[in-house]
Structure 1
Amino acid sequence: MTSAAPQHPLAWLAAHADRRRAAGLRRELRPRAAGTDGMLDLAGNDYLGLATDPRVVDAAVAAAREWGTGSTGSRLVTGSTVLHRELEEELAAFCGAPDALVFSSGYAANLGVLTALSGPGALVVSDAAAHASLIDACRLSRARIAVTPRDDVAAVDAALAARTEERALVVTDAVNSADGALAPLPQLHAVCRARGALLVVDDAHGLGVCGAGGRGHAAASGLVGADDVVTTVTLSKSLGSQGGAVLGPAAVTAHLVDTARTFIFDTGLAPACAGAALAALRVLRAEPERPGAVLRVAAALAAAAAVSAPPSAVVSVVLGDPVRAVDAAARCAEQGVRVGCFRPPSVPEGTSRLRLTARATVTDADLARATNVLAGVLAEASAGAAR
């Protein structure tokens, strides 16, 4: 009697894809053409409109010509240039932090800082709405993880009070990436200080938008520079480049150089990205009105979508059903307006949404166009939900 041939090891993928498609959760890549391609972009995270600013582009080109297209190695071997250090020094000074360390991405920065500062014998208290990079960092940390309800300061305090571990970290996003709401950072910091815990804040969506001159929500909350606070930022949103950074005490950045695996074993940030980010930071410093322009555009987009104005660049329009959200985003695109569409697992079940992002360079004509398109698309989505 012969045994049945073994099933192909990837045979399960087809059924898995079918289930995701039926649930409205199938994803696909949509490559965009160079330039505007006639679309009004309200989906990207180029909040200050600097990704195509000639000063930033020219700086990237100059850095590539001087240093080459790649960094050629990890930061500890050949991947650190004087440009990287210049960026770190100016970023730390701008945000008011003692020191900064640049990583190849914001994701890598979050993985590096959490795994290096926690580990076995530590407790990490993580907000339930934390970004995927923070969730993955918690999973890799080998620390005990306590997940608390979103922005629940009392729950954080209780988790810290009940701990048996000597060391504890509390981790949260400063600005929620899905709906643009701000975390209660001063209250969280007060609890952390009272309980002897380190506060780690991901300010990816705050830098360039929130606080005086766009220094971020952590800076606006008076936390940057505190010796028990570490912040992470990305260079790929307001600074229009690529990469990430950790801001905090010099003892922290020195420890990361010694122990953060995503720093030690990853190729350093490309010089062109470092040059672009540095140029964008200098534009932001010279033009502090740009963050205010972002918030004005966000308020106008919120009014067009009939939702509350956010304190950040992110405007969330909850439609509930993922299929309805995908259809609404497609209808916007058909009419020349590109919007984001967030579905589970990016957001909780039943809260699929359109995610609109403000940009400092959006014009009044752009807003009129967006208002017209959104009014029609959201009216259709509402009518569909009522049926």
Structure 2
Amino acid sequence: MTNWLGRVLEVEVGAVAHGGHCVARAEGRVVFVRHALPGERVRVEVTEDNGGSFCRGDAVEVLSASEFRVEPPCPLAVPGGCGGCDWQHAAPAYQRSLKASVVAEQLRRLAGIEREVVVEALDGGPLDWRSRVRLVAGQDGRAGLRAHHSHRVVPLEKCPIAVPGALDDVLARRWRPGSELEVTKDGDGRVHVRELATVRGKVRAKQLSGGTAVQHAAGRDWHLDAHGFWQVHPAAAATFAEVVGEWADAPSGGSAWDLYAGVGLFASVLAGQVGTAGRVLAVESGRRAVSDGEGNLADLPQVSWQAGRVEHVLATAEKPVDVVVLDPPRKGAGKAVVESIVAGEPDRIVYVACDPAALARDVATFAAHGYSLTDLRAFDAFPMTHHVECVALLS
């Protein structure tokens, strides 16, 4: 088969697909197109072709535009530009409808579930929300983000989706080429910067400012590693804690598991529900997160912490359990973890997911053990990107 790399094709753009692109077809092959919208007619330059039935490309010219197309607020959100955003060329409400279509399609294809999905906006609008950013220094020492599917660094002068003031100092100076820069602006407005540089084959981390972040959610102040896990959108943690609390509804004196617990956001909500006569097991593999969690929830003796892989800890956990909350990484929980949860015979499972495909696969596995999807809410916790956060209730 002839390699299409660099070839320009004229295509009719079809449905949105998971990953920030739409599906088109040309000469019997699928073309995954970025910077396009469903229903448009565009010229696509092929940017990746590894052979086989599909290739990838960028819409370099729009011949017939969607009514939902807008001018991107960032001049770098264009073909060949920054790879950080996927949908800046779409009106915000339409972005949410695209994400809803993706969630519904993944549930239908991977879990056999037909369900209408609505993606809800979080407070704050589509810009100025990203509180954590990981940058890389290019050969000229300027900090930037990588182009899509590339190691090429696109230098930034500013980033319109970043929390105002977070990147000012980092973008104003020069860095060791190849250094990675982790920047967090916490709930008190303090900026934390860590530099990761490879020196003689070893990655060395240097904290340049801050180090311990302060966040606020679920009626508590949280002290944690500034570069550890916390929701990126400033409104996300409080919103998800509220939904998890409503759906978990753990009984007073009962038992609950908070899996992939981070620093214990959901464990704190569960602890308030079960009370001092109940018990909450928080499981987290990151030892720094466990240490931070123990410190943050020291006033809640009903919460016990275990560091380790979820399926290993649950093998010896006290059973049965009334409610389980899990917030796994992007790859999802997987079969072994699902079976470990099912062994606890919970009445309800609240699943927080940052990847709709992983969620759908795990929902299908839960269904094989008798748990059905009884409710779902989806949130635009990452505006301008293809990412979407879901909270699912299984009973």
Q: Does TM, normalized by the shorter one, top 0.5?
A: no
TM-score, normalising length: structure 1: 0.34
TM-score w.r.t. structure 2 length? Answer: 0.33
The higher-RCO structure (CA 8 Å, 6+ apart) is 1
Higher helix share: 1
